[in-house]
Amino acid sequence: MSASSLDLMTDEEFAELRTNGIKINYWVVCHRKVWLYAKGLRMEPLSERVALGRLLHERAYPDLSRREVLIDDLIKIDLLEAESKVLEIKHSRKLVDAARLQVAYYLLYLRRLGAGDLAGELRFPKERRREEVHLTPELEAAVMEALRGIRRVEQLPSPPQANFMPTCRICAYCELCWG
């Protein structure tokens, strides 16, 4: 869907649809995961992979002091570099599209709060890679589409079906979905 074919989101609609960044990430990976998370099923505390990611986050970039900035008790930004860059640390690039949309959501959220046009950056310390993220009209349209889609998934009476993918093996919800 192109940016021009999507209606612009009003401030009221954005306020109604805003969510936390993890749901945006999950939206790209698996709609079933979004539904389970939205219903309060939190499997992440039981996941060794999530624990390793948390440890990586805590130890990476010790020179940056502005860590885990919580905004509106809703979005948690990993790091802020200076005043103009939002950083998100990820374990690997395997789910880079999900991470990119998550950062784009943070940039859109902050812009709507009046922060202006900030830059984002994905960092993969184990791979020694970085990726700049800028909120393009296409990326903004993808965020808006995700917000609307998340709302639709959350309103379903039962979780949507999922197809088994290689990423399911490392997912914190794997046991729940695939037993």
CATH of the domain at 8: 3.90.320
- CA angle, 129 as apex, 126 and 132 as ends, to 5°? 135
**pTM score, two decimals?**
0.84
Instruction: Please tell me the predicted confidence (pLDDT) of residue 57.
Output: 58
Neighbours of 84 (CB within 10 A): 11
How far apart, in whole angstroms, are the C-alpha atoms of residue 83 and residue 86?
A: 9
Domain that holds residue 119: 3-178
SS (H, E, C) 64-92: CCCEEEEECCCEEEEEEECCCEEEEECCC
How far apart, in whole angstroms, are the C-alpha atoms of residue 78 and residue 133?
A: 15
pLDDT tens digits for the chain (179 residues)?
A: 444 334 578 889 999 999 999 999 999 999 999 999 999 987 775 656 655 666 655 666 666 665 678 788 888 887 666 667 888 888 888 899 999 999 999 999 999 998 889 999 998 888 889 999 999 999 999 999 999 999 999 999 999 999 999 988 888 888 888 88
Amino acid sitting at position 111 = R
How many folded domains does the chain comprise? 1
Instruction: Please tell me the predicted confidence (pLDDT) of residue 1.
Output: 41
Strand order in the sheet with 75-81: 67-71, 75-81, 85-89, 119-124, 129-133
Nearest 5°: phi and psi at 47? -95, 125
Neighbours of 155 (CB within 10 A): 9
Residues 95/170, Cβ–Cβ less than 8 Å: no
